[in-house]
Amino acid sequence: MIYKGPSQEYLAIENINDQNLEALLEPVKSALLVLWFQEDSNSITIDGQPYSFAKDEIICLTEFHKLEEVNIKSARLIKFNRAFYCIYNHDSEVGCKGLLFFGAHNVPRMHLPKQEVEVFQTVYRMFNLELEQQDHLQLEMLQMMLKRFLILCARLYKKQNKIDLDQEQLDLIREYNYLVEQHYKELHNVADYAEMLHKSPKTLANYFKKLSAKTPLEFIKNRRMLEARRLLLEDQLSVKEVAYDLRFEDVQSFSRFFKREEGLSPVAFKKQRGINANS
């Protein structure tokens, strides 16, 4: 079912499979989505990388993820746009900016433990019940359900990724991730982000060491590589155009960067995926 509000609010709550992918693949401006797989043996190629998903795995995606080779046995989809619920403006409520969405890392994924399935099921059922209502409180109630679901996902993600940071430290990491998402094309040094956050690069490095094996600089590189893969998968863009879009000085420096991180050149990457390397 789909809700469309008077001010372009959009929310889709759908059960999807290989025969019913329209709601998943339909472009919606500023859309974020959550996929909750209901059966085993699902696969999606996301930004050129193949992923497999089992029953009760949950992933979070944005409008910028490029989905290909989508094979879904059964999944529940929650898809909403910024007009419906803005995670930036409401970050203090749900705490998912830079964590579930717009983080400089791979696709966020969680596995739902059996003891927590009923909680998620209840919220999802409430979504569907509220979509059937037609009163003046419907939008507010649907936003409350979404907020609850995102909070549950954020808690689960933090627990399963063993994030050993206090709230202040975690908020700083999330803000760093979000700033990288906003400025990765033009700002490539950790010091630039540290200055915006009023912290030293060393402080950021210490926080990241608690979070993962990746350094703050690696998060920037990962985000640039993610966008490079996305752009190279577009038939109409040449390697030179991708290098220009990502603010590299020239094609050679972009090619060196890409090959160092990916293990093959941008031209070889395009050819490997059946895309005209001269396009």
Helix residue ranges, H only, the chain:
22-25, 91-94, 114-131, 138-160, 167-183, 190-197, 201-211, 216-232, 239-245, 251-262, 266-272
Quote the domain boundaries for residue 69.
Answer: 2-160
Residue 152 and residue 43 share a domain:
yes
**Which SS3 state, helix, strand or coil, does residue 16 take?**
strand
Same domain, 101 and 191: no
Percent of the chain with pLDDT over 70: 96
pLDDT of residue 277: 62
Q: Which of 181, 182, 116 is nearest to 151 (CA)?
A: 116
User: How much is the pLDDT for 137?
Assistant: 85
Q: Is the pLDDT of residue 141 over 70?
A: yes
Query: What is the pLDDT at residue 104?
Result: 55
Q: How many residues does the chain have?
A: 279
Cα separation, 170 vs 48, in Å, equals 29
CA neighbor of 126 nearest in space, from 147, 106, 141 = 141
State how many domains the chain has: 2
Show which of 113, 133, 160 is a domain's final residue: 160
pTM, rounded to two decimals: 0.77
pLDDT band at 27 (very low <50, low <70, confident <90, very high): confident
Does some domain include residue 267? yes
Question: What percent of the chain shows pLDDT beyond 90?
Answer: 48
Whether residue 135 is found in the same domain as residue 206? no
7 shares its domain with 138: yes
What does pLDDT average to over the chain? 88
Task: Report d(CA 105, CA 88) in Å as an integer.
Answer: 18
Instruction: Choose one of 160, 188, 207: the last residue of a domain.
Output: 160
- Residue 24 covered by a domain: yes
153 and 59 part of one domain: yes
What confidence tens digit (pLDDT) does each residue in 241-276 have? 999 999 999 999 999 999 998 889 999 988 887 776
The predicted model gives 1-29 an average pLDDT of 89
Residue 85 belongs to a domain: yes
In a domain, 17, yes or no: yes
Q: Is residue 278 part of a domain?
A: no
**In this predicted structure, what is the pLDDT of residue 164?**
65
62/135 same-domain check: yes
Which single residue is written with the structure tokens 């499979």?
17
